[in-house]
Amino acid sequence: MRFRSCALIAVSFVLATCTVFAAEPVPAATDKPLYAAEQTFQFVVTSDLYGGNRPGVFEHAVELINTLQPSFVMTVGDLIEGKDPAKKRGNAREAQATDELLNAQWDKFYVMLEPLNSRFYFVAGNHDYNYPSKAAVYEDRVGSPYYSFNFGRCHFLVINTNDGSGAQVGISLEQFEFIQKDLEANKDARHTFVFAHHPYFLDVPNAAQLPKKGIPGFIREINVNEQAWQRLEVALGDRPRTVFTGHLHQYIYASRGQGDYYVLATTGGGMKTGRPNSFDHIVLVTVRDGNPSVASIKLNGFVPQDLVTEKQARQQLLKALGKATQN
């Protein structure tokens, strides 16, 4: 009996020892680097809401953005109608709205924006800012139309492209001075993101070479401001950058030597019928160790969480098996 007891004790000791010193399971994964949370972040960019707003689209985008949980959200402008729909449009410019109406439109936008869980950074579009009294309301309700900030060792520069005389298209010398000083002070950023409403960088036909009748206004705007944009490019130098703009309600991508340039389509604005690059979307930017990747996501590309519920799946199964639908 003593021998059997000793044997049992010995076996128990061996098993206990094996349990204590057994190797922990190794995660089954590839050998790609595992980035720390502080090395990776995401932000979302929304595009034009006005210029033919379609109710419910921006609100839907907010719901979808909340599921992505980005660090923050940017835009490229045109957030309010910025005109009086009761007035007829003049030949030269949109019918001006009263301060009271503009404030009511901003109130409406803030209501639409309130459910968004992430911080939202504003950019001024022509609908938001294109004449002096409208610009004054913008600065009162929103803040500065141009500014910058840093996040995740990257630099974010917001430009006002309605900074010409009378708040018309252009970039003022005062703003250029800010841009130059700002970029110089942040020359060590790993990546620079630029946000503006008008896509002055686009390579478009020269208006002087086109028939005078029917030249799109945006071509004139780009031609007039071509030199202004070149000054910005000089200030940016050879730093890696990504540029986001809007205004045209059409998605356009342009590759430049130092980075990627985008014209975004819409997030609820008027659509260009029949054009494959006119659609509602948001842009999800993932930055890993200073290197961005850009994913344009159509709003109808998201799958609703409750697309098929458990109850519906059960009913589908019963129907497939030829059984009566049950609750």
- Give the closest residue to 194 by CA, choosing from 152, 227, 147: 147
The reported pTM is 0.86
Name, in order, each residue with C-beta under 8 angstroms of 70's C-beta and a sequence gap of 6 or more: 42, 43, 44, 118, 284
Q: Which pLDDT score, from 0 to 100, does residue 317 have?
A: 86
Rounded to an integer, what distance in angstroms lies between the CA atom of residue 192 and that of residue 150?
9
What stretches in the chain show pLDDT beneath 50? 1-15, 91-92
Q: Which pLDDT score, from 0 to 100, does residue 11 have?
A: 46
Q: Which helix (H) or strand (E) holds 220?
A: helix 217-224
Q: Which pLDDT score, from 0 to 100, does residue 274 have?
A: 85
Residue 24 lies in a domain: no
Q: What angle do CA 51, 172, 229 make, to 5 degrees?
A: 75
Q: Which pLDDT score, from 0 to 100, does residue 308 have?
A: 85
Backbone angles phi, psi at 294, to 5 degrees: -115, 125
Q: Which pLDDT score, from 0 to 100, does residue 45 have?
A: 98
Residue 193 lies in a domain: yes
Residue 257 lies in a domain: yes
Q: Which pLDDT score, from 0 to 100, does residue 9 have?
A: 46
Q: Is residue 147 classed as helix, strand or coil in its secondary structure?
A: strand
Q: Which two tokens stand for residue 257?
A: 């030597």
Residue 123 lies in a domain: yes
Residue 22 lies in a domain: no
Domain with 81 in it = 37-301
Residue 175 lies in a domain: yes
- CATH number of the domain that 221 lies in? 3.60.21.10
Specify whether the CB–CB gap between 72 and 87 falls below 8 A.
no
Q: Which two tokens stand for residue 301?
A: 């590309």
Residue 189 lies in a domain: yes
Crossing angle, helix 217-224 and helix 226-236, to 10 degrees?
Answer: 50
Q: Which pLDDT score, from 0 to 100, does residue 216 have?
A: 83
The number of folded domains in the chain is 1
Residue 9 lies in a domain: no
Q: Which pLDDT score, from 0 to 100, does residue 7 have?
A: 47
Rounded to an integer, what distance in angstroms lies between the CA atom of residue 47 and that of residue 298?
12
Cross-strand partners of 294? 285
Q: Which pLDDT score, from 0 to 100, does residue 31 have?
A: 78
